[in-house]
Chains A and B, each alone.
Chain A
C-alpha cells in the first residue's frame, strides 16, 4: 500500500518535472532557459534517485508498528 502511494507521488512529481522542462525548452528564448533546464534536469534526476533509495532504506514495518502502538495508547 505504501509503495503504491509513493509510486503515485513519484508519477505526479515526474509529470511536474516534465511540464517544467517542457516550458523551458518550448517557450524559452535565448541561452538562459537552456542552462536552467539543464540544471533542473540534472537535479531532478538526482532527487529521483535519492527519493527511491531513501524509501527503500526505511523499515516501514517498524514505522507502521510504532504508529499503531502510538495510536492504541492514545
Chain B
C-alpha cells in the first residue's frame, strides 16, 4: 500500500502501447520551496504580531477569537499553498521512448497538453538567463520541429543541457530502431 510513496511506473493518461516513460521533469526545486517559505514566513509573522500584543487588554479579552481567526487564516493559506504546489507538481515534461509530452497546469480544472513525436524534433535550444539560473543550473528549453515554428517552450527546467542530451539520445535510439 505504501509503495505509491516511493515507487511508480510513471504511467499517464493516453499512454501508447509499448510506450515507456523514461524521464519526468518538473521545474527546478526552488519553485517548490518558494511558496513553502512564503507560507511559513506569513504564518510566523502573524504569530509574532499576536505575541507582541499578547499583553494588551484587547488580547486578554478576545484571545480565543484572535486564535480562531489566526487558525482560519492559516487554513486558507494552507489551501493557497497547496494550489501552488499542485501547479508545480502537475506541470511536467514527460520523455517517453516515442514522444515528448508537455502538461501545463494553469489552475484548477485548467490545463493544456502538447504531444510531440520524438522523430519530429529538429533542434533543441537552451536558454539560461540570470545569475540565479546560472548558479542553480536551470533554464528554458525550446524544442523546434520541422519548419521554423517553435513547438515547445518549457521553462525553468533543472540541468537543461543534460535534458537536451537525453532527448537526442532517445531520438537516436528511436531512429536506429527503424
Contact mask for chain A residues 33-52; partner B; CB cutoff 8 A; 1 contact, 0 none: 11110101001100110110
- Which of chain B's residues have a CB closer than 8 A to the CB of A13? 75-76, 79
Q: Is the CB of B6 within 8 A of A31?
A: yes
The CA of A58 and the CA of B72, in the complex, are separated in Å by 13
CB atoms of A32 and B79 under 8 A apart: no
Contact with A along B80-123 (1 / 0, CB 8 A): 00110110011010100000000101001101000000000000
Interface residue total, chain B, C-beta cutoff 8 A: 38
How far is it, in angstroms, between the C-alpha of A38 and the C-alpha of B13 when the chains are bound?
A: 22
Q: Are A51 and B86 in contact (CB under 8 A)?
A: no
B8 interface residue (CB < 8 Å to A)? yes
Question: Could you say which of B26, B62, B71 has the most chain A C-beta atoms within 10 Å of its C-beta?
Answer: B71
A27 CA to B86 CA in the complex, in Å?
Answer: 10
Contact of B64 among A33, A51, A59 (CB under 8 A): A59
**Known contacts A43-B78, A54-B71; A29/B64 CB under 8 A:** no
Partner of B4, one of A27, A34, A44, A58: A34
Instruction: Establish whether residues A34 and B64, one from each chain, have CB atoms under 8 Å apart when the complex forms.
Output: no
A54 to chain B, nearest CB (A): 4
B76 partner residues in chain A, CB cutoff 8 A: 13
9 additional contacts, CB 8 Å, given A30-B24, A54-B64? Answer: A23-B105, A24-B89, A29-B11, A30-B8, A31-B7, A47-B78, A50-B71, A57-B67, A58-B64
Chain A interface (Cβ < 8 Å from any Cβ of B): 9, 13, 16-17, 19-20, 23-24, 27-36, 38, 40, 43-44, 47-48, 50-51, 54-55, 57-59, 63, 66
Between-chain CB contacts (< 8 Å), 20 pairs:
A19-B109, A20-B82, A20-B108, A27-B90, A27-B111, A29-B21, A29-B94, A30-B92, A31-B5, A31-B6, A32-B89, A33-B90, A44-B75, A44-B78, A47-B71, A47-B78, A51-B75, A58-B65, A63-B65, A66-B62
